[in-house]
Each structure stands twice: as structure tokens, then as C-alpha cells.
Structure 1
């Protein structure tokens, strides 16, 4: 235990994983929602932009949201989750990872699936400058991997952190990479690659000695991007070394904070190693819910409230 049975059963169209993924990523909109930006400086001289939204409750609890690859705090899956959390007595701090807030970051490095030092910096900022007695974490895709890795690493977790939820998590980055390289995911891979190469070209303007035109031409697949840039910029030997060291799968047995993983069986981004059944069975604090449907960060729900947005409220309230 604890393997959690899933009750998610969407309308017919949304039982198709690709339709669910595309609808949530492109067509879904969140109305009547406002955020207030705060910039914090990081220990290495870089910065992060945090987008805050607030409840009308006197309760001093905050949820930190972490987006996925090439996402930001304005994406519907972040804004929708923040809005529901606000309506259920949680303030929300939505992180824009480095380069994702609309402004180039200062350093050659950027963000990646294992950069838990940035999440820790946000947590320490909140603990030192805000008045919250309870902190909750919710990460999506890359942000979910980052969240779980943070909780399972060899560190003292602040007592204020009460629970976490991770949605559509590539628990094995290599397994997920293999899936993304398959033809079924070509449209997604093309979209990700376009955005990443665009950022690489912008980065080249500031660091021409570190990124050559040949490097950029060599980026044919997402793995190539991790070989050419992610690994070099963040101290890994190559893409495979990055995947091995940053996959949260190896850290799951060490998690001592209640954490729920919600992954869909029809998520085309996730390979077999991304469903950690054995780890959940042997860790009483790790909950795994594998829904039959949902796609990748999809989970369509009525009244524009997704299943994962309802599920996180239930889980956070259960573990308090």
C-alpha cells in the first residue's frame, strides 16, 4: 500500500488520451483569475518570477505550483489549479521556472527536471518572508518529477510542508524520452523542440562562445537538445547521465511526506517505468493513483474544473 483506486471516468471524447491532452493544452481557458508577480533573486545570481493568487480565508496555508516542460504560471493547468485552491482556502505561489516567465534568465544555465535547488529557494523565501504555517506542493509533468525528487533527496524537509501531489509524472526520464521519440508523439515533440530551439538561439546571443550554430543544427530530437544543452549547462556528462541522476523514481522510497502521484494509463508521454507500483506498495507515505483515462495533464472535468484540481483539494484536506 497505498495503491489508490481511481474513479475518473470522463465523457466519451475525453477517453481518448490525445484529445484530452490537446484540449487541456490548447483550448482550455481560465476566466476571472488574477495573479500578482514577485521576483526573487537566487543564490547563484539568477532570478525566479513567482505569480501569486490569494484566497479570502484567514487560514495561513499556501500551495506551491510547478509547471511542466516549456510551461509557465499562466498555462490553464496552473491557473485552473490555482483558482480552485484559492476557492478552497489556499493561497497559491505559482513558480515560473528559469526562462519561462517571458524574460531570459541571467545565466547560461536554465531549468531542468532535477533542479530542486530552485524549488528549495522558493520554499526558503516563503518561510523567511511570509507568514505561512502550512505549505503544500503540486507539480505537473517535469514539475512533478522535480517535486518528488525534492521530497526524496537527502535533505531535512521543513516541518511546514504537509503534503504534495504530482500529476502526469515522468518518474523515469529515460522511459519518458523513449516514448516521446515514438511516432505517436511526433506532433508534441515538434512543438517542444521548436520552443526549446528558439530559447537556445536566444541563449546563444548572450553566450556565443558556448553555443555554436553547429550545436543548434545538431538538435534533431528532444534527446539531442538534452545532449547539446541541458547536460552541458547543468553539469551532466550527457543526456543519459542527466536522465539517470534526475529521475525521481530512485528517490521515491525515501519520501516521508504524504505524496500522491496521479498518472493516466493512456498518457502517451509515459513509459512503463513511469508507474511506480512497487515503490508505492512499500512506502506508506507514497500514494499512487493510475487512472484509465486522462492523457498528459488532461483530466477534463465538468464546469471547467479538472479531475486533478478536485483531487488535490481532497488529498490535501485528508492529510492535514
Structure 2
């Protein structure tokens, strides 16, 4: 599919990617959304907490929202699109990854960039228990990587899944990990690591046979965390193996679902490998949009509806129109 020309015009102050990222992550507020929590069991007997919000009228359509690293269902980049889609007659379900809902999950393992079975469990729940006939998926950052990997894996994607949007996605985890460890991203990396270590210390208390005090003390960087915990807890050889197996870049060529990928050119977490121009040109189902500005999930616009949120709704509306016209 030809590359999509972006129409995003950032406010002058937020053309700086760092400012756009920080403001969006720390200061944005979304008001007027009511969420209801539902707990479902996963196929391996763990649980996921889902935060539902609904359109005013009964809807046969739902958007599944997936947060980024150490996010949750109440982050503004999740509640923002939930509110927008609710206002346009589409229900929304915000998935809290394992251990991200305010309560630790049942097992030593938790979530990671390639944990697509949990997404599939939510999709199946939306179909079998909720009865939705139209399902859309929107993933942010890590959640975007999961979305793309899920759609491109060798699994049967239910026909109810009509379209997907992925935003600010490190589709090449190896190089993005290196980028995240650079000085320009130190504040972000340290914040992520602090939250992850706090959780891992609690797991160490519950599962003392799984990780030693010495191993915990050895974790100084995010790469160390993936080496000591993420890879070992989830069946990978090491961090490198985890990055290689879970990078969504390799799955893009197999995606058969209309999918919009929005990655800003000034996103400091991303590398040239995270702008899959070749893959998009070779797959008619991949729509790649590369705004000049936007930072990492910082597509700020007036009215507190972010560009990527409005763009996601417009993309889905267009896909639905095209599908109807082709019948």
C-alpha cells in the first residue's frame, strides 16, 4: 500500500518531540468517561481486568484498546479514544495487561511485547460472551507491537476483526531497546525501570524460588530487566532472543486485516528500522503514516482529541464504507 501522507500539524510548542511526549504522558487529562471493570480468565488460568465504556445506544461494534509499557486502562491515551469512540456509537474495552490493573497477576510470568494470546482471549470474549459483530483493535507502543504481531501470526483471525490501528510502535525491538538506553531517553527509561522493579520485587517475595536477591540487584537497565526477568519468565533464551522473536516487523507481510500504523519521525524511542516503508509498499493492508511531529504518543491537537485518535476513527469509518460498497 502506498505510504499515507500525513495531515497532522502540531502546535508550535509541541513540535518538540520531548515536550509533546512529556505533556501527553504526565499532564493530559480526559474527563467525562465512565468505565466498568470486568475480570476474565485467560486460557492458562490467569486473569485480565478489562475496563469497559459504552456508547449511549446498544452497539454491535467495539474497539479493543491496548496500553504501552507499564500503562493501564485509565491512561489518557486509552481513555481519550474510548471517549471518542463511545461518542460515535462504538463501545470500548481497555485491556489492562497482567499485573497492570492495580493487582498482581497469579503467576510469576506477566506480560511482554509479544504476548498475543491474551489479546486473542479478549477478542474471543468479545465475540462469544459479548456478541460483537465488528471488532477493531488499537494498540499504543508495546500494545501496538502486540497488535501487529497478533494480526500477522499464523493464527486464524476472526472475521469479526475488521481493522486495526497501531501508534508509536517499536516494531524492531532490538534497535529500539538500544535507542531507549541513550542519554536523550534516560528519564523515560529510568521511570519505566523503576515501575518494573517495584513489581518484580513483589514477585520475588511471592516466588522466592524463581529469582534471587542477587539477580534483582544486578538489574540496572531495561535491557538487564529483560535479560533477568522478561526473557526467563516467558520462555525465551535471553533478551536478544525475546527481542528477535517478538518484534512485529517480521509479521507485517502476513497481515490481512486493514491496519494503520502511525509513527512520528521525531519519536525518540524509534529507529529507522521502525519505519517499515518497504513492508507497507508490499502489503496492500498496511497503511503507514509518518507525521513529522508527534513524539511518542504526543499527537496533540486543540480540543483534547489527539490526531491519532481522530485518525483512528476516520480510518475505521473509511474501512467500513469501503467494505459496504464492495458488497
Q: TM-score range by the shorter chain?
A: over 0.9
2:110 matches 1:110 = yes
Counterparts of 2:144 and 2:223 in 1: how far apart (Å)? 20
Contact map agreement 1:175 1:273 (CA 8 A) in 2:
yes
Q: Distance in 1 between matches of 2:317 and 2:119?
A: 23
Counterpart in the other structure of 1:44: 44
Distance 1:24 1:199 in 2: 24
In the alignment, what sits opposite 1:75? Answer: 75
Partner of 2:194: 194
**Map of 2:22 onto structure 1:** 22
Residue deviations 1:58-96, cap 9 Å, x none?
A: 431000000000000000100111001111111001100
CA contact (8 A) 1:85 1:91 kept: yes
Structure 2: runs of 5+ lacking an equivalent: 321-327
**In structure 1, what is the equivalent of residue 222 of structure 2?**
222
Report the alpha carbon displacement of residue 223 of structure 1 after superposing the two structures with TM. Answer: 0.5
Find the counterpart in structure 2 of residue 254 from structure 1: 254
- Per-residue displacement from partner, 1:204-263 (whole Å, max 9, x unpaired)? 011011111111111111000000000000000000000000000000000000000000
Task: State how 1:126-275 maps to structure 2 within 5 Å.
Answer: 126-275=126-275
CA apart distance, 1:187: 0.3
Between the aligned partners of 2:139 and 2:66, the Cα distance in structure 1 is: 5
Question: Hey, what does 2:315 align to over in structure 1?
Answer: 315
User: How far does residue 43 in structure 1 lie from its aligned partner after superposition?
Assistant: 1.6
Q: Deviations over 1:150-195 (max 9, x none)?
A: 0000011100000000000000011110110100000001100100
| Alpha-carbon distance in structure 2 between the residues aligned to 1:106 and 1:58 | 34
Q: What is the rounded CA distance, in whole Å, between the counterparts of 2:129 and 2:58 in structure 1? A: 18
| 1:12 corresponding residue in structure 2 | 12
Could you state the TM-score of these two structures normalised by the residue count of structure 1? 0.99
| Deviation of the 1:54 alpha carbon | 0.3
Question: Do 1:2 and 1:283's aligned partners in 2 also have CA atoms closer than 8 Å?
Answer: no
How much has 1:2 moved relative to structure 2? 2.5
Deviations 1:79-133 (A, max 9, x none): 1110011111110011000000000000010000000000001111111111211
Which stretches of structure 1, 4 residues or longer, exceed 4 Å deviation after superposition?
Answer: none
> Partners of 1:146 and 1:228 in 2: how far apart?
21
Question: Structure 1 residues 56-65 or 286-295, which shifts more?
Answer: 56-65
| Distance in 1 (alpha carbons) for counterparts of 2:80 and 2:58 | 22
> In 1, distance between residues paired with 2:149 and 2:112?
12
Alpha-carbon shift at residue 32 of structure 1 (Å): 1.1
What corresponds to 1:283 in structure 2? 283
Per-residue deviation, residues 13-50 of structure 1 (Å, max 9, x unmatched): 11000000000000001111110000001121110000
Q: Separation in 1 of the partners of 2:311 and 2:98?
A: 28
| Matched residue SS, 2:263 | strand
TM-score (norm 2): 0.97
Q: Which residue of 1 aligns with 2:295?
A: 295
Structure 1, unmatched stretches of 5+, are none
Structure 1 residue 10: Cα displacement: 1.2
**2-side partners of 1:258 and 1:190: how far apart?**
36
Q: Quote the Cα distance in structure 2 between the aligned partners of 1:81 and 1:199.
A: 28
SS in 2 for 1:50: strand
In the other structure, the counterpart of 2:96 is 96
